[in-house]
Amino acid sequence: MVALVASTAAAQNVMPGLPLKHMRFYLQDQSVPRGKQYSYANSTFETDYRSDGSCGFGPMTFLAEKYKYTFSTSCKLATGEMVGALGGVFRAKCYDREAEWERVDDTEVPKGVKMPRWDSLTIPVRGNTGLNRIVIAAPAINVNKEKEPSASLQIEWIEIDKPRKKKNALFSAVIKPGDIVLLHDNMNNRDNGHVVRAIVLPDKETRIVGWVELAPEPIPEMELVRAKKPFVRPQPQKEP
């Protein structure tokens, strides 16, 4: 049975290779080769700066051997804003057709901000993360009266082999730290749970944009049912 909670050994697992210190993003055109290549967790990935001003990186392949998927993430930042990704917090410097993200020293990360673990999937408020032919966005993060954070997820199933008039399916869910949220594996037509490791609130004063952090391990829905573990199932969005 797949473990439902991380073991002590797994929690203490150290990232293979060296931490990522910076990334540069260039707007691609026919005269410029495809994005710059970087190394992370003994794997390589590429970056690109998109026409809407967002920065993208991936595909991240370091989870592929163990969990059988890759992922890519994008986020739109202004100069000085910070986002969590790939085991750290990065600060952006943005120019006309390019941008740079520099990792913030751990001692300089704003107080109360939980840095993502090296193997986490992060979903920035002003961006998205894609895996298994779905795209996950977190357009809103809020707190309740007890100051507990929650996030609204929007999930789009990307239908590649579809009739021309068929739209991608859209789903939504509200999650909080510690929840297990079901994500559809659109490649293999099955649902897997991912533990919500953390929700980091946006903060205009510290310039943290906010993000959702998910554990990478996909827990099959049937394992959750057999273990009587509660989970959050995203619901179809109504047509406007």
Interatomic CA distance for residues 183 and 163, integer angstroms: 24
Residue pLDDT tens, the chain, 240 long: 444 444 333 444 677 888 899 999 988 765 555 568 999 999 999 999 988 899 999 999 999 999 999 999 999 999 999 999 999 999 999 998 899 999 999 999 999 999 999 999 999 999 999 999 999 999 999 988 778 899 999 999 987 766 666 788 899 999 999 999 999 998 888 999 999 999 999 999 999 999 999 999 999 999 999 999 999 999 998 765
**Whole-prediction pTM value?**
0.89
What is the 8-class DSSP label of residue 208?
Answer: B
- Per the rule left: phi > 0, alpha: psi between -120 and 50, beta: everything else, 225 is alpha
CA separation for the pair 88, 70 (Å, rounded): 19
Question: Token pair of 41, please?
Answer: 């967790």
Partners of 91 in the beta sheet?
Answer: 82, 102
Distance CA 134, CA 216 (A): 15
Task: Name every residue whose Cβ is closer than 8 Å to that of residue 104 and which is 6 or more positions away in sequence.
Answer: 82, 88, 89, 90, 91
Cα gap 94→77, rounded to integer Å? 8
Residue 57 contacts by C-beta under 8 Å, 6 or more apart in sequence?
A: 23, 25, 38, 45, 46, 47, 48, 72, 73, 74, 85, 86
Give the Cα separation of 58 and 45 in Å (integer): 5
**What number of residues does the chain have?**
240
